[in-house]
Chains A and B, each alone.
Chain A
C-alpha cells in the first residue's frame, strides 16, 4: 500500500529525514516510535504533502504510484488520512459544512452524486456513536473551543466519516487521559478493515496496548534504527530509548 524509499527531507534547509525505508502492506498496523525531534511528525507531514517539507531524495509510493507531486487533497481523496497532532480550530466553518464538503468531494472523485442531506445526517449519527463523540460538538465550528481530548476524538470521528485506506495517527495519544485514550483506540479498532492500514506515531508505548501493532520502528535522527514486532515497544517502555541511541551512535563510530 505504502512504500517509502530512501526518503530524505528538509525543513527550512535543515535535513530532518536522512534516508527512510518503510513498507506498509494492506491490513498492517505499523508503529513509529522515537524520542522527540527524531523526525516522526516530519515523516507524517511528508506522506500527507505539507509544503514546508522539502523532499530532496527518494520517493513515496502509494498504491504503486509516486505521490510526491500530488497536492494534499488528492492524496486524501485517494485514501490517505492524517489524524493531526494539533488539530486547528477554524471558527466560522461548521463541522457539518466541513464534513459535507469533504464527503462530497470524495464522492465526486469516485464519480458519485453528492450525498443527500438526510443520508449525510444519518451517516454522521452512525459514526458519532461509533467514536463516542458528543453530539453538541458536531454542531459547532471545526474544533472551536474543543478540549484537547475532544479534538483528538474529532480527528477519529473524521476518520470514521471518510473511511481512509491508510490512516496516520500522529501522537493521537498525547494529551489524552487513560479513559479518553481507550475510547479513541476503540474507535480506531472498530474502523479497522482487513484491507486498511494504520501508521501509529507515538512517543509512548501505552497507546499500543490498545492499538496493537504488527511492526514497530524506532526513528532516531531521521533514520529508522531498529524495526521489530510489538515486543520491541514493550522493551522500549521498560528500557527507554537510550540503549538504542547508544547502540546506534556506536555503530556509526564503528563504521568510521
Chain B
C-alpha cells in the first residue's frame, strides 16, 4: 500500500519561489536581488484586492506551472538564423535578449559612436559597476508591485544602454526580446537604460514569442533620463494567444528632460503593461501613448502611474484600445501631483472601441492632487464606431467593411502618428491595418526559421 503523505497547501507566494534557485546571486546583482526578495515577501503576488490588479488575475496565471529560466542556455546558432526584423529600411543598432538573457555577440559591452555603451546587463555589472550601481533598482525599488519585485529578486540579465552626457545617438537602438523554448517557461528579463545630461536617444523594443508553447514573461525595465535629455521609446508587442506578457516600465526623469513612450500591442494572450513615471526635476515632460488591438479571448491591461514630484512638469497620456469578440481590456491611469508640484499640467485620455457587445473594457482614470496651482484633466470613453461617420463614408460609395476599417484606422492613427522613426511608423501603420483586417495572426514574416 502506498501512503501518500499529505502536505499542507502552500500559499502562492511561497510556491512560486520554489521555481527559483535558493541562492541569491553574487556581488552587486546579488545585493539588489536580496533586497528585492525581502520586498517580494512583503508584497507577494498581487491579488484581485490590489487596486492596480483588479481586472487581471495574475495569481491564476502564475499558478500554471511555468518552469523558470534562471540561467542562459547554450546556443549553437546565430540569432540571424532564427529571427530577422521585417523592416528592411529600419536603420538601428540591434541587440537581442533571448529568454531573458542577453544574446552575446561580443564578450564585452559594445561601444557605439559618441561613447554610447550597449550590451547585456550582466556584462555591464561586470565591466562597468561604476555606471550601473548608482541607478540599478533605484526607482524600481520604490514600487510596491509584487510582480516587479519577483523579477527584481531573480532576474540576472537583460539589456543595458548607457548614453553619456552630451551624446546624441545617431540612430535608435533596437532591442528584440525573444522567447523560444519547447517547454512552458517563465522568463524574467531586466533592462537598464541610462541617459546622462543633454543626451538624446531612441529605443525600439520588439517583443516576440518564437514558440507555440504557453510562455510567460515578467519583465522589468528601468529608464533614467538626466537633465535636458530626451528619449523616445517605441514598443511593439506582437505575440500569440498562449503568451502571457507582464512588463513593468519604470521611467525616472530629471530636470527639463523629455520622454515619449509609444506602446503598440497587436497580439498577446494576456498582456499586462505597467508604466511608472517619476517626473523628478522641474520642467520635465512625459508623453505616454498606447494602442492595443485585441480579439478572441485576449486580455490586455494597462496600468499607469504618473508621479509629478517636481513643479512645472507636463505629462500626457493617450491610450486607445480596439476590442473585438470576447476580448477583455482594462486601463487604469493614476496621476499623482505631490505637494509643491505647482504648475503641473497633466492630461489623460483613454478611448476604447468595442466592436462586439461581448467585448469588455474597464477603465479608470484617477487624479490625486496635493498642489493647488495645477491643470489636470482626464477622460475615458468606451463606445462603438460613430454611426454618423460610418454613414457619411458609405454614402460616398465606400462599403461598410471598408468604412469601418477607415474609422478604426483613424482611431489608431492618433497614436501611430507620434512615432518619430519614419520607416517604423510606416511599418506599424501597415501592421495595424493588416491586424484590423484580421490578416495578421502575428508577425510571421519576422521569423526565419521557426523550429530551429
Q: Does B249 sit within 8 A of A, measured CB to CB?
A: no
Q: Are B389's CB and A73's CB within 8 A?
A: no
Q: Are A93's CB and B396's CB within 8 A?
A: no
CB closest residue in chain B, given A161: B396
Residue from A81, A102, A106 having most chain B Cβ neighbours under 10 A: A102
Given known A-B contacts A50-B391, A84-B392, A88-B392, A93 and B397 have beta carbons under 8 A apart: no
Q: Are B407's CB and A72's CB within 8 A?
A: no
Least CB distance, B424 to chain A, in whole angstroms: 19
Q: Are B389's CB and A88's CB within 8 A?
A: yes
Chain A's interface size range is 20 to 34
Q: Are A93's CB and B406's CB within 8 A?
A: yes
Q: Are A101's CB and B402's CB within 8 A?
A: yes
Given known A-B contacts A93-B410, A98-B406, A71 and B397 have beta carbons under 8 A apart: no
Q: Does A68 sit within 8 A of B, measured CB to CB?
A: no
Set A50, A88, A92, A105: member contacting B397, Cβ < 8 A:
A105
CB closest residue in chain A, given B397: A76
Least CB distance, B311 to chain A, in whole angstroms: 33
Interface string of B79-109 (1 = CB under 8 A from A): 0000000000000000000000000000000
Set A92, A106, A141: member contacting B411, Cβ < 8 A:
A92
Residue numbers of A with Cβ under 8 A of B are 48-51, 71-73, 75-77, 81-82, 84, 87-88, 90-93, 97-98, 101-102, 105-106, 109, 141-142, 158, 162
Sorted nearest first, the 6 A-B pairs with minimum C-beta distance are A92-B410, A76-B397, A102-B396, A92-B413, A72-B394, A93-B410
Chain B residues near A84 (CB-CB < 8 A): 392, 395
Whole-angstrom CA separation of A158 from B413 in the bound complex: 23
Interface of B, helix, strand, loop or mixed by DSSP: helix
Q: Are B389's CB and A71's CB within 8 A?
A: no
CB closest residue in chain A, given B392: A88
Interface size on B, residues (CB 8 A): 23
For window 371-400 of B, CB contacts with A under 8 Å fall at 386, 388-389, 391-400
Inter-chain contact count A-B, CB under 8 Å?
76
Q: Are A72's CB and B395's CB within 8 A?
A: yes
Set B400, B410, B412: member contacting A90, Cβ < 8 A:
B410
Q: Are B392's CB and A73's CB within 8 A?
A: no
Interface string of B406-420 (1 = CB under 8 A from A): 110111111000000
Known: A73-B400, A93-B389, A102-B397. 13 other contacts (CB 8 A): A72-B395, A73-B395, A73-B397, A76-B397, A90-B389, A90-B392, A90-B410, A91-B414, A101-B406, A102-B393, A105-B398, A105-B399, A106-B397
Chain B residues near A142 (CB-CB < 8 A): 392
Chain A residues near B410 (CB-CB < 8 A): 90-93, 141
Q: Are A98's CB and B396's CB within 8 A?
A: yes
Whole-angstrom CA separation of A98 from B388 in the bound complex: 15
Chain A residues near B414 (CB-CB < 8 A): 91-92
Q: Are B394's CB and A73's CB within 8 A?
A: yes
Chain B residues near A87 (CB-CB < 8 A): 392
Chain B residues near A102 (CB-CB < 8 A): 393, 396-398
Chain A residues near B389 (CB-CB < 8 A): 88, 90, 93
Whole-angstrom CA separation of A14 from B414 in the bound complex: 40
Given known A-B contacts A84-B392, A88-B389, A92-B413, A101 and B407 have beta carbons under 8 A apart: no
Q: Are A73's CB and B407's CB within 8 A?
A: no
Chain B residues near A88 (CB-CB < 8 A): 386, 388-389, 392
CB closest residue in chain A, given B388: A88
Whole-angstrom CA separation of A228 from B353 in the bound complex: 50
Chain B residues near A77 (CB-CB < 8 A): 397
Set B386, B391, B409, B412: member contacting A72, Cβ < 8 A:
B391
Whole-angstrom CA separation of A88 from B403 in the bound complex: 14
Whole-angstrom CA separation of A231 from B177 in the bound complex: 76
Q: Are A76's CB and B406's CB within 8 A?
A: no
Least CB distance, A90 to chain B, in whole angstroms: 5
Whole-angstrom CA separation of A93 from B396 in the bound complex: 14
Least CB distance, B272 to chain A, in whole angstroms: 28
Q: Are A76's CB and B394's CB within 8 A?
A: yes
Whole-angstrom CA separation of A98 from B390 in the bound complex: 12
Least CB distance, B295 to chain A, in whole angstroms: 21
Whole-angstrom CA separation of A105 from B395 in the bound complex: 12
Whole-angstrom CA separation of A142 from B403 in the bound complex: 13
Can you name 16 A-B residue pairings with CB atoms under 8 Å?
A: A72-B394, A73-B400, A76-B395, A76-B397, A81-B395, A87-B392, A90-B393, A91-B410, A92-B412, A93-B393, A93-B406, A93-B410, A98-B393, A102-B393, A105-B402, A162-B396
Set B386, B393, B395: member contacting A48, Cβ < 8 A:
B395
Chain B residues near A101 (CB-CB < 8 A): 393, 398, 402, 406
CB closest residue in chain A, given B417: A92
CB closest residue in chain A, given B402: A101
Least CB distance, B184 to chain A, in whole angstroms: 40
Whole-angstrom CA separation of A51 from B391 in the bound complex: 9
CB closest residue in chain A, given B414: A92
Chain A residues near B396 (CB-CB < 8 A): 73, 76, 98, 102, 158, 162
Chain B residues near A71 (CB-CB < 8 A): 394, 399-400
Whole-angstrom CA separation of A92 from B410 in the bound complex: 4
Chain B residues near A75 (CB-CB < 8 A): 395
